[in-house]
Amino acid sequence: MGSDRSRPDPLLAAIVATTMVFFPVNAVAVWLMVPYIAWVSFAAILNREIWRADPGQGTVKLLSCINIDIPLGRSSGKGA
């Protein structure tokens, strides 16, 4: 768990596998999957970077000029 490398995204793997299955059936279906693969890849990278950049206090610095306060659902140790 000390590694900063992330595991392969199962959703992205399933989308790519589905696209490969579509290839012999219909080329249009394959090309329609390309934007979906791009969007899921972008979302996965964004989520990983938000999680990695979080100092544990809910404030995430995505770019040098943007601070976004994201509640991550981590408990602060106080009772409900």
Q: Cα separation of 26 and 16, whole Å?
A: 15
Q: Is residue 28 part of a domain?
A: yes
For 67, residues 6+ apart whose C-beta sits below 8 A from its C-beta are: 59, 60, 61
Residues in the chain: 80
Q: Is residue 2 part of a domain?
A: no
Q: How many domains does the chain have?
A: 1
pLDDT digits (tens, 9 = 90+) for 20-33: 999 999 999 999 99
Q: Cα separation of 19 and 34, whole Å?
A: 8
Question: Domain of 52?
Answer: 10-69
Global pTM? 0.58
Q: How confident is the model at residue 9 (pLDDT cuts 50, 70, 90)?
A: confident
Q: Is residue 3 part of a domain?
A: no
Give pLDDT, residue 60.
53
